[in-house]
Structure 1
Amino acid sequence: MTTARDVMHRGCECVGINENLAHAARRMAELDVGALPICGEDNRLKGIITDRDIVVKCIAKGRNPNEVKAGDLFEETRVWWVDADADIDEVLHQMVEHKIRRLPVLENKELVGIISQADLAAGLPEDKVGELVEAISSTSH
């Protein structure tokens, strides 16, 4: 059985809820990623911030990324995640059902990795990849 642990990016780094967006953007550039999980002061997952969020919700609105905190951008909504031992079909189900491109992976309530659409596509049969891309692309976040 293939699990979330088998396809995830390990050692996923969080941006703190009180860190500014300039810092988050620099970390994304350094890590060559388009998104970072947001963690609270309790080191628990609170949300995800993307490079697009920084552009659309901050820069395009004339706000200063040195003054806007990561926690200011994400809505207090349910954060979808999957357990590290979850079957790959559960990962696919979560991403399709919630129309998300990135899914944090938790183990014992700690963030241990993240799965992107590309990570999942690499481990799926071709027909399921098409299903995934179509479902997520229709109205993705």
Structure 2
Amino acid sequence: MLARDIMTSPVITIEPSASIGEAADLMLNHHISGLPVVLANGTLVGMITEGDFLRRGELGTEQKRSRWLEFFLSPGKAADEYVRAHGRKIEEIMSDNVVCTRPDATLDEVVTQMIDRNIKRLPVILDNRLAGIVCRSDLLRALAAQLPIDTVARNDDALQDAIITELRRPSWSGNWTIQVGVKSGVATLSGVIFDERERQAARVAAENVAGVKAVTDELTWVDPMSGMTMPPPGAAREL
């Protein structure tokens, strides 16, 4: 799946000469937290988000420092903070260093950029023009579309094979000490784990197999250093 498959288009945008009041109204009326700032020809020049309105003089939330720290603050930095706290135009407070992506970028690339840059949205650029935007909500919709809705009818043997296959794929289950049994669609996990975190991972692996009705945890945790054991909870968790 690529960025163009999930991006929102057309995009609600604003011009750099617009007022911050116009931007606030657009965000509130459309229930969005950020706006690409574009020129009349569609060229992206910045981004305005809710975070840009946090330090505002009208709210009394502008940056405050002690006189001692103010002494070490450069005049340029102080001037920049003043503009961001009191500027009336979008171009005065917007972020102009915008991280963008391509329509053919993979979702893995999109998510990596969001995590590495700690951002919530990525404008999608095609031929130097804004073609769309990918937000975290777009990724959530893509996830919801991929989640199974109907249970798949499988016999117990097929479910057991599918769970074993799923357990053997990830690196954390390389000890091969987890046994699987299935009866009437209820999966039972037994055997030994050497890290308590493997318990939840094993449950998730079994629950992700379509057709499993419930998972019973009979895994015993063994501390590889001391040999201390923790008995399994044993209760079935229904899906």
TM bracket, shorter-chain basis? 0.7 to 0.9
Identify if the C-alpha distance between structure 1 residues 22 and 56 changes in structure 2 by more than 3 Å, giving closer, same or farther. same
- Could you say which structure has the greater relative contact order, defined with CA pairs below 8 angstroms and 6 or more residues apart? 1
SS state of the match for residue 47, structure 1?
strand
Q: 1:69-124, CA deviations, whole angstroms, 9 ceiling, x for partnerless residues?
A: 11111244x31111112111111121122111111111222112111122224435
Identify if the C-alpha distance between structure 1 residues 23 and 99 changes in structure 2 by more than 3 Å, giving closer, same or farther. same
* 1:55 shift after superposition: 3.9
Whole-angstrom distance in 1 between the partners of 2:106 and 2:52: 30
Identify if the C-alpha distance between structure 1 residues 58 and 20 changes in structure 2 by more than 3 Å, giving closer, same or farther. farther
SS state of the match for residue 11, structure 2?
coil
SS state of the match for residue 123, structure 1?
helix
Whole-angstrom distance in 2 between the partners of 1:103 and 1:80: 6
Identify if the C-alpha distance between structure 1 residues 113 and 59 changes in structure 2 by more than 3 Å, giving closer, same or farther. farther
Number of corresponding residues: 123
Matched residues, percent identical? 28
AA of the residue aligned to 1:27:
L
Q: 2:125 aligns with which of 106, 130, 133?
A: 106
Whole-angstrom distance in 1 between the partners of 2:57 and 2:17: 15
1:116 aligns with 2:135: yes
Does the CA-based 8 Å contact 2:3-2:107 persist in structure 1? yes
Calculate the TM-score normalised by the size of structure 2.
0.45
**Structure 1: unaligned runs, 5 residues or longer:** 127-141
- For residue 17 of structure 2, what is the aligned residue in structure 1? 18
* 1:51 shift after superposition: 2.5
SS state of the match for residue 15, structure 1?
coil
1:82 aligns with 2:101: yes
SS state of the match for residue 97, structure 1?
helix
Identify if the C-alpha distance between structure 1 residues 121 and 75 changes in structure 2 by more than 3 Å, giving closer, same or farther. same
**Structure 2: unaligned runs, 5 residues or longer:** 63-82, 148-239
Calculate the TM-score normalised by the size of structure 1.
0.72
SS state of the match for residue 139, structure 2?
helix
Does the CA-based 8 Å contact 2:48-2:95 persist in structure 1? no
Whole-angstrom distance in 2 between the partners of 1:27 and 1:69: 14
Identify if the C-alpha distance between structure 1 residues 33 and 123 changes in structure 2 by more than 3 Å, giving closer, same or farther. same
Does the CA-based 8 Å contact 1:17-1:41 persist in structure 2? no
Does the CA-based 8 Å contact 1:106-1:113 persist in structure 2? yes
Q: RMSD in angstroms over aligned alpha carbons? A: 2.8
Whole-angstrom distance in 1 between the partners of 2:128 and 2:105: 14
- For residue 55 of structure 2, what is the aligned residue in structure 1? 56
Q: Following superposition of structure 1 onto structure 2, how do residues 20-39 of structure 1 map, counting pairs within 5 Å?
A: 20-39=19-38
Structure ID, larger Rg? 2
AA of the residue aligned to 2:38:
C
AA of the residue aligned to 1:115:
V
Whole-angstrom distance in 2 between the partners of 1:110 and 1:19: 20
SS state of the match for residue 123, structure 2?
strand
AA of the residue aligned to 2:29:
E
